[in-house]
Amino acid sequence: MKTLLTMMARLALGPLYVFRPMASRYRYKKIVNCPESDQPAEILVDASGPRKKPLSIRNCSLWPTKKGCTQSCLK
C-alpha cells in the first residue's frame, strides 16, 4: 500500500518538478524608464509565447495608477 501511494505521489508531483523551472526561464525582471510617466519602473516580462508573439508585461510597479498603458517600454 505504501509503495502504491509513493508511486501516485511521484506521478502527481513529477510534472511540477520538471515544468516549473522551465516556466521561470521565460520570465525575467527588468528596470526600465517608463516613456509615459518618465519614471523608473520594475517590470516582469513574459516571453513564454510563440516566437511570433511579441513580449508582454505580466506586472509593473507603476500599474496601480497606469494599468491601461501601451507597454511601449518594451520597444
Question: pLDDT digit string (tens) for 4-52?
Answer: 988 888 888 887 777 766 656 667 788 999 988 888 999 888 776 555 5
Write down the pLDDT at residue 40.
Answer: 92
The reply to whether the predicted model has a pTM over 0.85 is no
In whole angstroms, give the CA distance from residue 75 to residue 72.
Answer: 6
In the three-class reduction of DSSP (H, G, I as helix; E, B as strand; rest coil), residue 29 is classed as strand
Backbone angles phi, psi at 50, to 5 degrees: -60, 160
Q: Closest by alpha carbon to 31, among 18, 22, 40, 21?
A: 40
